[in-house]
């Protein structure tokens, strides 16, 4: 709970114009619920992030939350009156109106007590009344001590809420109240804001929890292969597309393991993150995580080669004479290994990425089809990275090709939209029980 939040700044939210095309677009209406935990002070940063992203935010703290942060703080940061009681402005029926009018309800922090009351439909304060009347997406960001998070009652409550379509983010691991450390820490505020933005981005399409309960394993970022203690061979992958795949999977109900190589962006709230550096480390982590996966997505940019030997000391110019040579060896083909490891069945669905450039003889898509045939994965997301395109950019343009001959072009869009297109293609290949037969 210490330090300032890190990560990308909130991006402005696009909204559809109203009936009068000349009128300013409607601002997304968000209810920010705050339960009575020490992490309530971090909700101030969540509020600033949401308002900075263009949201119209009404704060609904529980009575216990007001022991940590006063109503005047919430009013000053939101620019709106704070809703604290079902009896406040009773003529406006706030316990019904707030839930009915909201485009999203986010509770941060959501304590063990709040999760229990939400699960069982107890409405003994304004916030729990809002949760019962809301017909919009609901996002809960838990924060509590590890023992409380891991208690069977809490785990069952989370399971029930997710079955109902509530997005319950996995808490982060780290310093808790006092000297304790472990899972139960509130996710970083900017990551919570990004999750809300992802939900709001899809508010014009039907609510979709079509990955509910599926274990999704995603690799992201670029591997770094050491040459000596200070140098490495790497690539320009930012990890942005893998992170958007993870974030959108979480808000569509999935349980996400993110195997992260070097990334320039922070991991999304709710993902279990496994940090790796080299291709060999990423390979080991992916094979371990894939054991019970329903979907595997290899979005990481894995180096094809690594130095044959790693110097124990920094290699100096004087050590190489007039020139230097760097013998290379091939790295393992992780995508092919993951396909082979499933024993020839189609369980789980496996998605690969192909960052290609055309040449004098063949175009990008031809190279992609060849790669799909070689790797044996179910889907391949092909994109053109020639002339410095894609890497680190917020937008992309891809073609999703399948072993069944399907070919789905996705026009240039932000990488969150690209991620949704990938998940749409995956869901069409998942049976109702979530396991491929």
Q: Which of 129, 157, 235, 331 is catalytic?
A: 235
Assess contact for 282 and 265: CB atoms under 8 A.
no
For β-strands 379-384 and 395-402, DSSP reports them as antiparallel
Q: Report the distance separating Cα 69 and Cα 89, nearest Å.
A: 22
**Tokens at 269, concatenated:** 């709230």
Assess contact for 47 and 59: CB atoms under 8 A.
yes
Q: Report the distance separating Cα 84 and Cα 87, nearest Å.
A: 9
Q: Report the distance separating Cα 289 and Cα 427, nearest Å.
A: 20
Per the annotation, the verdict on 157 as an active-site residue is no
**Tokens at 349, concatenated:** 């669905």
Q: Which residues contact 373 (CB under 8 A, 6 or more apart)?
A: none
**Tokens at 284, concatenated:** 């080991």
Q: Report the distance separating Cα 366 and Cα 350, nearest Å.
A: 20
Place of tokens 């949401």: 50
Q: Report the distance separating Cα 74 and Cα 47, nearest Å.
A: 8
Q: Which residues are catalytic?
A: 235
């Amino acid at each position: 709970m210490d330090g300032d939040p890190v990560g990308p700044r909130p991006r402005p939210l696009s909204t559809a114009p109203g009936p009068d095309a000349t009128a300013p677009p409607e601002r997304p209406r968000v209810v920010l619920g705050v339960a009575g935990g020490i992490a309530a002070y971090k909700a101030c940063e969540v509020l600033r992030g949401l308002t900075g992203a263009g949201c119209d935010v009404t704060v609904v703290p529980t009575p216990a939350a007001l022991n940590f942060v006063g109503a005047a703080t919430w009013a000053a940061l939101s620019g709106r009156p704070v809703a604290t009681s079902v009896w406040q402005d009773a003529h406006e029926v706030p316990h019904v109106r707030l839930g009915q009018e909201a485009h999203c309800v986010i509770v941060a922090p959501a304590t063990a007590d709040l999760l229990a009351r939400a699960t069982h439909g107890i409405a003994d304060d304004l916030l729990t009344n809002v949760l019962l009347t809301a017909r919009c997406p609901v996002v809960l960001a838990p924060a509590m001590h590890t023992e409380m998070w891991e208690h069977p009652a809490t785990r069952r409550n989370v399971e029930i809420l997710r079955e109902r379509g509530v997005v319950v983010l996995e808490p982060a691991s780290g310093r808790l109240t006092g000297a304790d450390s472990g899972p139960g820490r509130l996710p970083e505020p900017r990551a919570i804001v990004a999750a809300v933005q992802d939900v709001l981005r899809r508010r014009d399409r039907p609510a979709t929890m079509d990955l509910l309960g599926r274990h999704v394993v995603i690799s992201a970022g670029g591997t770094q292969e050491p040459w000596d203690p200070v140098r490495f061979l790497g690539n320009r992958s930012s990890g942005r597309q893998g992170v958007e795949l993870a974030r959108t999977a979480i808000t569509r109900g999935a349980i996400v393991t993110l195997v992260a190589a070097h990334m320039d962006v922070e991991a999304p709230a709710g993902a279990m993150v496994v940090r790796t550096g080299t291709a060999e480390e990423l390979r080991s982590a992916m094979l371990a995580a894939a054991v019970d996966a329903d979907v595997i997505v290899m979005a990481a940019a894995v180096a094809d080669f690594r130095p044959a030997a790693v110097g124990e000391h920094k290699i100096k110019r004087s050590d190489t004479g007039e020139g230097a040579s760097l013998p290379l060896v091939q790295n393992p083909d992780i995508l092919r290994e993951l396909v082979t490891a499933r024993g020839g069945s189609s369980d789980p669905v496996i998605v690969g990425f192909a960052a290609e450039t055309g040449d004098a003889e063949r175009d990008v898509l031809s190279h992609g089809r060849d790669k799909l045939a070689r790797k044996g994965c179910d889907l391949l997301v092909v994109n053109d990275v020639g002339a410095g395109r894609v890497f680190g950019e917020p937008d992309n343009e891809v073609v999703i090709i399948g072993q069944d001959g399907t070919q789905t072009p996705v026009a240039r869009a932000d990488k969150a939209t690209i991620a949704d297109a990938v998940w749409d293609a995956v869901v069409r290949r998942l049976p109702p029980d979530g396991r491929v037969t």
